[in-house]
Amino acid sequence: MISGDKIKEIESLALRIRKHIIEMICAAGSGHPGGSLSAADIITVLYFYKMKHNPKEPNWPDRDRFVMSKGHAAPVLYSALAEAGYFPISYLKTLRSVGSSLQGHIDMLSLPGIEMSTGSLGQGLSAANGMALAGKLDKKNYRVYCMIGDGESQEGQIWEAAMTSGHRKLDNLTAILDNNKYQIDGKVEDIKGIEPIEDKFKAFRWNVIKCSGHDIKSIISAFEEAEKTKNKPTMIIADTIKGKGVSFMEANPKDFHGRAPTKEEKQTAIEALCKLENL
């Protein structure tokens, strides 16, 4: 059972990661704050509670793997990797700068700790399948985690990959749907609805768990249930809020799916996150 102190520690880390997201995107003058902020709590649980990984040995063969299929949410992953010690936190401010390894979309050849280059939506789950299948064939005990977006789930390759996961009984694979209900052009349900998403994954022979994507205890419980599931991959449908933690960014894709905050907006956002940290 996780202690209250550990939950508070993870919550504090998630807030720090949110601050990094705001600061680095503002410094770059471009980037994707909304979908990075919505994923912050889940990514924090993965990197600071659940996953086996070693910043000093990023290619450790027995490490757990994480694939950020919604590759435009690179800032949240970069922030977690920096906090975990893969590279200096000060380097975050080079996001999208010429010569920086922190590209706008994730590049596995540029940074330690990145398992897969992503950004062309729909492809990450297929790569995660390959890693999970390799683990089975090599008789390794590592687990593979893959985050996909709800808008991304409109992509046909997601469903081809999902069929493969179920067919191969990849119970060492856990996917997380960042169900923040918005994409660049508006509400997912208005553009191309994906519901009933739970039933769809069940039909593809997945174990499906629903959780709050902003409740640390709920997220941990979902991951632990996934680990106990045998002969099926697990999809965690995490209900989230796009732009979570910054009120004027929340559920506001028109302004903050892919636009950097101004210096004034950055200051307001950081102040709001500091208040949350002090609650």
Provide the pLDDT confidence category of residue 277 given band limits of 50, 70 and 90.
Answer: confident
> Which domain CATH number covers 154?
3.40.50.970
Provide the pLDDT confidence category of residue 50 given band limits of 50, 70 and 90.
Answer: very high
Which residues, 6 or more positions from 242, have their beta carbon under 8 angstroms from its beta carbon? Answer: 34, 35, 37, 38, 180, 181, 182, 249, 250, 251, 252, 253, 256, 257
| Residue 46 domain boundaries | 4-277
- On the question of pLDDT at 267 being above 90, the answer is yes
| pLDDT tens-digit readout, 21-34 | 999 999 999 999 99
- On the question of pLDDT at 94 being above 90, the answer is yes
CA 267 to CA 248: how far, in whole Å?
Answer: 12
| pLDDT tens-digit readout, 123-139 | 999 999 999 999 999 99
Provide the pLDDT confidence category of residue 276 given band limits of 50, 70 and 90.
Answer: confident
Tokens at residue 269, please? 């956002």
Provide the pLDDT confidence category of residue 1 given band limits of 50, 70 and 90.
Answer: confident
Tokens at residue 231, please? 């002969």
Q: Are 67 and 146 in contact, with CB atoms under 8 Å apart?
A: yes
* Number of structural domains the chain divides into: 1
At which residue do the structure tokens 């997220």 appear? 219
- Grouping H, G, I as helix, E, B as strand and the rest as coil, residue 237 is strand
| pLDDT tens-digit readout, 58-81 | 999 999 999 999 999 999 999 999
Beta bridge partners of 212: 239
The whole-chain average pLDDT of the chain stands at 97
* Cα torsion 218, 16, 97, 54: sign: negative
| pLDDT tens-digit readout, 97-133 | 999 999 999 999 999 999 999 999 999 999 999 999 9
CA 231 to CA 128: how far, in whole Å?
Answer: 16
Q: In what order do the strands lie in the sheet with 173-179?
A: 65-68, 144-149, 173-179, 234-239, 207-212
CA 54 to CA 62: how far, in whole Å?
Answer: 10
Distances from the Cα of 227 to the Cα of 77, 91, 132, 143, angstroms: 22, 34, 13, 9
Mean pLDDT of 37-45: 98
How high is the pLDDT of residue 279? 62
